[in-house]
Structure 1
Amino acid sequence: MKKILIKTAMAGMLCMGFVSCADELNIKSVDPHNYPTYSVEGLLAKQYATLGLTGQKGPAGIADLSCDEGESGFIRTVFNLEELMTDETLWAWQENDGIAPITNMNWTKDNVRINWAYQRLIFDITLYNQFITEQTGKLSDDQIAEVRFLRALNYYYFLDLFRKAPFKDTFDDSLPVEKKGKDLYEWLDNELTTIEPMMAEVGAYNNSENFGRADRGAAYALHARLALNSAVYTDGQVKDYQKAIDYCDKILNNVGEGEGKYNLCRKEKNGYSGYQQLFMGDNDCNPEAMKEIIFPIRQDGVKTRAYAGTSYLVNATSIAGMPYASTSDSWKCLFARVDLVKKFFPNGDIPKADKADLVANADRDKIIAKDKEKKFSTADVIAQAKDDRALFYMGIGGCDDKVRTLTPGDAITSPLNGASIVKWSNTHADGTPQHHQNYSDTDFPLFRLAEIYLTRAEAKYRLNGSQDGLADINLVQDRANREVKATSVDETTLIDEWCREFYMEGRRRSDLVRFGLFTGSKYLWNFKGGVADGTGIEAHYDIYPIPGNETKNNPNMTQNPKY
């Protein structure tokens, strides 16, 4: 069978004729037992593509799920449930469906955004179950193992978000059964242990020919993340911190210049730092960025158009008029909470424009000139933060008669209620043109090497209070040219470094839960609980509810406590 490349195999995926399963999910929780006509190559491509696309046509039309197609993709649904209520970002338009309860952390079992995420995960698992059932014995073990990895990845997100899953590992008409907590954790642990030896060796697909396919490096990264969260997922019954360290070591043993499979992206290119290049439109063909990205979700502005992939992240953080904007379709939706800014500027003294700095009818050149003159460009923000990861903008671009503030005040009303986040970009670091002005080429790095360093550091600390992980933390900080380095390992150092390195990458809620900071009053942030100064939240919000239509239609699924 020929190799599957996501960017060149879209035609095979698009002609498969797979139909929506949302109606079936709303009526009964069974796998949609369809019999489409497809090529094996197209079906294998679809297993990967369903992580980055939302339907068979794109960006809209012939949707996988019968809902707002742009809202239903894997990246967008997971990102929203991991980020929008945390200390990292706010959504400007609180009247949008289901947004206010997510922001305010008072969601219910009927929240549409929770339902979209649930449906996307079960839809993906349905595809994987069909492929595994029908192709086992026809394809090689390593190809089947790749899809089993993708299935495990989606079950991981069920565990992380809901602490349980409607579980099936077959493709038939039977109802999924409930598998939760320790049982689901152990299934994932065993499944990954089983498939890892079958998969291509570590880093085998970290090249231009196969970038985006899962090899052992991807499986080890998921296994390490799973083990680091073991105590959370099993109510303290399992603490697999040594296992997390061991899986990190399996990856880090393959790090190095030259023949090494992985390395941190360090080298500046055309004025872009190594960190910036990880989130730019050519991160799939930039050798330095590819070395850090262990497993990406592939994106392309022409071949994978969707409103739910990295186009969402690029467009939603952009405001028309911002200098160096990499999209012509600025949604002006997402902006930074002050708590994120303070991870880089503890005193809140980020360079920012005042109303007196505004320029009437300013074009791009005038905006750039004023930003440089007054030293509140993103380059100035980075220079003052002394950390390459401070990718914020507080200049005059995107402003009319108002300027950006650090907080919304008493109510969230505008994308100017906080710093603009410019981490996600469709610009190509090598200077080549982006493939489309509205849709992103930027691959989503679901697992990257920096996570492995921080995971090992945290796991060592949690195992026995070890300070040995300080070297790993400093290595990540060195890559960012951070001036103020960590001098010891403790919970504050770790949780703040997770934020600085991984903000807006769809994991903050999970990290805060692991540190016991997501709910309760130990850590408050701007608009936590819908209150400007933050307020304590009941512990049951650490886990999302099972959607009401799921418990209604599947008697095997029970609701999570207090929902």
Structure 2
Amino acid sequence: MNRFNPKYMKLRVLQMFLLVCMTSFLMVSCTKLDLTPTNDLIADNVYTSVSGYKQSLAKVYGAFALTGNASVGQPDIPTEIIKDEGNSDFLRLYWNLQELTTDEAVWSWQSDAGIQGLHEMSWSSTNSIINGLYYRSYFQITLCNDFINQSSDDNLSKRGITGADANEVRKFRAEARFIRAFQYSVLMDLYGNVPMVTEQTQIGGKDLPMQMQRKDLFNYVESELKAIEPELATAKSNEYGRADQAADWALLSRIYLNAEVYTGTPRYTDAITYCNKITGAGYALHNNYRELTIADNQLNKDEFILTINYDGTSTQNYGGTTYLMHGPAGVPAEVSGSSGTWGGLRITQQFVNLFADKTGATDSRAQFYMSGQNLEVNDLYTSTDGYSSTKYRNKTRSGGPAPHQDVAKDFSDIDFPLFRLGEIYLTYAESVLRGGTGGSLATALGYVNQLRTRAYNGSTAGNISSSALTTDFILDERGRELWYEAFRRTDLIRYGKFTSANYLWAWKGGTKNGAAVNGRFSLFPLPPTDLSANPNLRQNPGY
């Protein structure tokens, strides 16, 4: 198995780059070094071969899954986040903002930095999780910017890298540009108008980064993804865990689905166009839903388009899928395949009630732990209030131990699907229902029923008719199919149900039965430290 494992490469030159290049207000990329490292790992020694570039690319990917020294040079990441190292993992931060703010998740430990106020939708601009994700995204953008600069055609020529080797590095460069575009799509979705930094940003210049308006940022992400498409590996041809053209198409389809939120202009036809590219590239639904989020899910190359790779021995931290494995309250160690539960994550009754049969005997996507757990979340911070999740299990499909299980069973071997075919089917169906062209209602219905047939373990008993296929049905089906995969906040915003009274869940707005909140909570605030350091920035309205 050729699995791209983005271990934290011990290249001190990149740490030096970061120490030199980070400013106290924002992480921007460097285009030249003012200092020469005392060791011999300077750029011209590291970037001398394809293998050297690939090692550095692994560090770019590794920033998705790793913490620790990956935080070097990030002086503005909140100190309480740095003290709790697992909270500085990109996925845990991102997941918390996408899920804990919705009906899908609550967390028991109100003393955890940044937790109190997330589910209640009463956060402020000093929330450490909100600020932590912002800086974590820019940290990975910084790594991308440096790699893009180091792999420029000019630098390749200077270093004597030509021909097929140069072409291979150009593919690496396109992957770094993809990751940068992905992180800007995250910032666009969660924060709206944010500073723009690229490989062209100079350190020590007189100009501070300018704030890019959300609509312009959408155009930038779109243009980047289209520009790199021919440079990426063809669909399904790259190493597992690395971006290819299908990942590019998947991100385009995702931003087009939400384009009306970002720009005011719907782009559903474009979403269908890129869904069609993916469905024509040979992907298929994996035959068992419950194998999508287990320890040997790297075998699911039929459905997975791009993953964040986790390894129980090489990517040890308390974020990522370790958090999703350990976090659910009450789940016994023998069920989760871990050393035991943290007693944290639970689910509101409103979300659980999307499933008619909560046991999972009918719809296998209902993976709830109910023993000792109450359905109703009567108290937001009581660990037995709310069913919990068994979706992320650190076991193989045969029930055996994780392939790279650490001895203590503290860390997860479960890869996280950033993009998979199930999302694409639902994006296609919703885009058709919202008036996009280039697709058909018959195909949309077929895709939805394929998902439901899989969920019902091969039975068509759960299939729906064309009259039942509505946009509201799609929102509920996205909940059932994609829950705990970091979609829910974005979906609820697209449907006008996130902050409004159109849909209420337990403790939304800080009340037991739920309440509408101010519309400003559809965007997270920018960190005050950036605002005070950069007069070009303006805070989001209401903060």
Calculate the TM-score normalised by the size of structure 1: 0.82
The answer as to whether partners of 1:90 and 1:337 remain within 8 angstroms in 2 is yes
The answer as to whether partners of 1:486 and 1:493 remain within 8 angstroms in 2 is no
User: Who is 1:335 aligned against?
Assistant: 346
| Alpha-carbon distance in 2 for matches of 1:212, 1:389 | 24
Q: 1:125 aligns with which of 131, 136, 141?
A: 141
| Alpha-carbon distance in 2 for matches of 1:463, 1:535 | 31
| Alpha-carbon distance in 2 for matches of 1:161, 1:45 | 26
Q: 2:328 aligns with which of 292, 296, 317?
A: 317
| Alpha-carbon distance in 2 for matches of 1:421, 1:103 | 17
| Alpha-carbon distance in 2 for matches of 1:474, 1:223 | 24
**Moved beyond 4 Å, runs of 4+:** 13-17, 19-26, 32-36, 61-66
Change in CA separation of 1:510 and 1:21 when aligned onto 2, cut-off 3 Å:
farther
User: Who is 1:389 aligned against?
Assistant: 365
Per the TM alignment, residue 17 of structure 1 is displaced from its structure 2 partner at its CA by 5.3
What is the SS of the residue equivalent to 1:445?
A: strand
| Alpha-carbon distance in 2 for matches of 1:445, 1:517 | 25
Change in CA separation of 1:6 and 1:305 when aligned onto 2, cut-off 3 Å:
farther
Change in CA separation of 1:26 and 1:87 when aligned onto 2, cut-off 3 Å:
farther
Per the TM alignment, residue 182 of structure 1 is displaced from its structure 2 partner at its CA by 1.2
1:196 aligns with 2:229: yes
Q: CA RMSD in A?
A: 2.4
Aligned letter for 1:265?
Answer: H
| Alpha-carbon distance in 2 for matches of 1:446, 1:464 | 24
Change in CA separation of 1:404 and 1:322 when aligned onto 2, cut-off 3 Å:
farther
User: Who is 2:509 aligned against?
Assistant: 529
Per the TM alignment, residue 62 of structure 1 is displaced from its structure 2 partner at its CA by 6.4
| Alpha-carbon distance in 2 for matches of 1:99, 1:529 | 14
User: Who is 1:484 aligned against?
Assistant: 462
1:460 aligns with 2:395: no
1:216 aligns with 2:242: no
| Alpha-carbon distance in 2 for matches of 1:535, 1:99 | 19
Change in CA separation of 1:11 and 1:240 when aligned onto 2, cut-off 3 Å:
closer
| Alpha-carbon distance in 1 for matches of 2:462, 2:226 | 39
What is the SS of the residue equivalent to 1:168?
A: coil
Unaligned runs of 5+ in 2: 47-51, 157-165
User: Who is 1:41 aligned against?
Assistant: 54
Equivalent runs, 1:111-122 vs 2, <5 Å: 111-122=127-138
Per the TM alignment, residue 181 of structure 1 is displaced from its structure 2 partner at its CA by 1.6
Change in CA separation of 1:11 and 1:510 when aligned onto 2, cut-off 3 Å:
closer
What is the SS of the residue equivalent to 2:306?
A: strand
Change in CA separation of 1:477 and 1:20 when aligned onto 2, cut-off 3 Å:
farther
The answer as to whether partners of 2:327 and 2:344 remain within 8 angstroms in 1 is yes
1:158 aligns with 2:191: no
Unaligned runs of 5+ in 1: 256-261, 267-273, 351-380, 396-402
**Deviation string, structure 1 residues 369-426 (Cα, Å, up to 9, x no partner):** xxxxxxxxxxxx111xx1010001112xxxxxxx3111231x2232211112100111
The answer as to whether partners of 2:327 and 2:343 remain within 8 angstroms in 1 is yes
Q: 1:475 aligns with which of 428, 439, 450?
A: 450
**Deviation string, structure 1 residues 223-266 (Cα, Å, up to 9, x no partner):** 000111000001x2x211111000000000123xxxxxx21111
Q: 2:306 aligns with which of 295, 317, 331?
A: 295
Change in CA separation of 1:321 and 1:388 when aligned onto 2, cut-off 3 Å:
closer
Number of paired residues? 492
Aligned letter for 2:211?
Answer: E
| Percent identity of equivalent pairs | 35
What is the SS of the residue equivalent to 2:429?
A: helix
Aligned letter for 2:273?
Answer: D
User: Who is 1:367 aligned against?
Assistant: none
Per the TM alignment, residue 169 of structure 1 is displaced from its structure 2 partner at its CA by 1.4
What is the SS of the residue equivalent to 1:344?
A: coil
The answer as to whether partners of 1:295 and 1:447 remain within 8 angstroms in 2 is yes
The answer as to whether partners of 2:28 and 2:197 remain within 8 angstroms in 1 is no
User: Who is 2:398 aligned against?
Assistant: 430
The answer as to whether partners of 1:87 and 1:525 remain within 8 angstroms in 2 is yes
The answer as to whether partners of 2:125 and 2:525 remain within 8 angstroms in 1 is yes
Change in CA separation of 1:518 and 1:324 when aligned onto 2, cut-off 3 Å:
same
Aligned letter for 1:195?
Answer: I
